[in-house]
Structure 1
Amino acid sequence: MPSSTVCRAALAAKTDFRAIVDLVGDKLREVLDTEDIESAGTIVEANLLQYLYEYEHGERLSFPAEPTLQMDSLTRSSKHKHLAWGTVEEGNMISPNLPGTDASRSGVSLPIISSDRIIGNIIIETYERDHAYG
């Protein structure tokens, strides 16, 4: 059975939102061949940024939702474009590291869009080299 069919069947069988996020995140890590990926979503009504899926150096991380008045990394993508950084300094200007995490040497943040509104983002990072993403 093709991988996309397996994915669709697994998604159809899942009703738990967290399980779906984990399934999609695991598949992205596999397809992109990366150990470092993050997905954050917003709970707009409560002005919260919720960290849904976090991996750094191949280890799963967990962070509590945090209040935010402006979704910094999300609102910067307000024109539905990705953000890329090529150095630690550029990454720090876009968004500071979460406590206890390392600064990536380069990365890309891709908006998750629903009804013409950014509701979250997927961030792919590398700690091995500068300018890994265009």
Structure 2
Amino acid sequence: ETQRLLKVTEDRAAELAIINSVQEGLASKLDMQSIYELIGEKLGEILHSHNIDIRLFDIPNDKVYYPYLMEKGNRISIDPSSFTGMSKYVYDTKQMLVVNEDIPGFMEKVGSQVLPGTEMEKSFVALPIMSSENVIGMVGISDYE
């Protein structure tokens, strides 16, 4: 029982350390781009992934913005794109999206394209970013192996 309680305490301490490091980073950076960078980096650390993107949806202007896009450990900067494909799918469903087989088929089905300067992933997970009941963006995690 003591070992179990010690493990729970250690796990909780690790979770709090991550939260504290994000909080410290947010407090030290006031501009939104720096906040996106910090969140993207922390997600990469937590998920042990070098393939993270943060997308923001501008519905009135039919655009998707990419304030953070990391592929295979390289930061990529791309122009806003049309609000279609996987982004629109996540927006419409308000649900987590997991695609771990036949990515080309799924992309064709939802009208998605490979983003300029990136490669097609072998699997993809997307989580909606919610504000109240509205989807305002998404976080994507890709795998290329």
TM-score range for the pair, normalised by the shorter chain length = 0.7 to 0.9
Alignment of 1:101-112 (within 5 A): 101-112=118-129
Match of 2:5 in 1: none
Deviation, 1:91, is 4.7
Percent of residue pairs identical: 29
Q: 3-state SS of the aligned residue for 2:137?
A: strand
Instruction: Render the CA deviation track for 1:76-131: whole Å, top value 9, x for unaligned.
Output: 22232111111332453342211231111111111111121111111101111xxx
Deviation, 1:58, is 0.9
Say whether residues 1:84 and 2:98 are aligned partners: yes
Match of 2:142 in 1: 125
TM-score (norm 2): 0.77
In structure 2, do the counterparts of structure 1 residues 101 and 74 end up closer, same or farther at CA, with 3 Å as the change threshold?
closer
TM-score (norm 1): 0.83
Residue of 24, 27, 35 corresponding to 2:42: 27
Question: Contact (CA 8 Å) 1:74, 1:118: kept in 2 or not?
Answer: no
Larger Rg: 2
CA RMSD of the aligned region, Å?
1.8
Q: How many residues are paired up?
A: 126
Residue of 51, 55, 72 corresponding to 2:66: 51
CA distance in 1, matches of 2:37, 2:123: 24
**2:27 alignment partner AA:** A
Deviation, 1:71, is 3.9
In structure 2, do the counterparts of structure 1 residues 91 and 29 end up closer, same or farther at CA, with 3 Å as the change threshold?
farther
Structure 1: 5+ residue stretches without partners: 129-134
**2:88 alignment partner AA:** T
Q: Which has the higher helix share?
A: 2
Structure 2: 5+ residue stretches without partners: 1-15
Say whether residues 1:72 and 2:85 are aligned partners: yes
